[in-house]
Structure formats: structure tokens, C-alpha cells
Amino acid sequence: MKNFDEVLQKLVDEQDFLKSIQGRIVDNYDIMIKNQQQNADNHEMVIQNQSTIIRNQEIIVNNQMNIVRNQKQIAQNQVTLDVIQQTQTYLLNLVKKLSGSDEPFENTQKFVADIRKASEENRKGQNLNESSTL
């Protein structure tokens, strides 16, 4: 009978052990399901972030295109301003000639260049992005 009791106790112990393992397996499955749900939620967030990144990249590309357009406009404006300055220099020289001062064109050019240089010197150190400096 002792042998039977020992075998029975071993079977009970093994059953308890198997029962505890099954409980841990169920717990692990629950954890895995929660992790899969969290992964799905995270994947959805990644997709939303990627959509935001794509929209931001489109904005950046549009901004870069605007910068290029602005740079072209600045270059055109610089050419126009140079033409205006040359025309004004010519007209100033012509006015001086009409008023009786026969000044060589080079002297008039130097006069205009000196005025421009003085203006640039006055603006050194100023923040040209401020409307008050324009």
C-alpha cells in the first residue's frame, strides 16, 4: 500500500506541476495577445507618422521651389537695378552737360559709385531683415 500511496502522490505532484505549467502557458498567451495588440497600435502610429513625414516633405519641396523662384526674382531684380543705376548715371551726366558742366561719364560713374559705397558703409552691422533698415 505504501508503494501505491507513493505512486499516487507522485501522480498528484506531477498533475499539480502540469497544472501550474498550463497556468503559465495561459498567462503567456494573454501576454502575447496584449503584445500583439500593442504592436498593432504601434504600427498604426508608425503609419500616421509616415503620412505626416510625407506631407512635411511635400511642404519642404514646395518651399524649396519657392526659394528657387525667389532667388531667380532676386537675380532679375539685381539686373534691373543695375540697368536703372546705369540709366540714372547716364541721365545725371546728361543733366550736368546740359547745365554747362562738361563732366566725363567716368567721373559721373565714380560719383554714383561713391554714393553707393557710402550707403553700404552706413548699413554695415544693421539687420537688413528689419523693415526699419530699408
Using CA atoms, how far apart are residues 126 and 133, in angstroms rounded to an integer? 7
Q: Where are the domains of the chain?
A: 2-123
Buried/exposed code over 81-102 (b: 16+ C-beta within 10 A; e: otherwise):
eeeeeeeebeebbeebeeeeee
- 129 — pLDDT class (breaks 50, 70, 90): low
The distance of Cα 60 from the centroid of its chain, to the nearest Å, equals 6
Q: What is the pTM of this model?
A: 0.59
Q: Do the Cβ atoms of 85 and 112 come closer than 8 Å?
A: yes
pLDDT digits (tens, 9 = 90+) for 35-64: 999 999 999 999 999 999 999 999 999 999
- 134 — pLDDT class (breaks 50, 70, 90): low
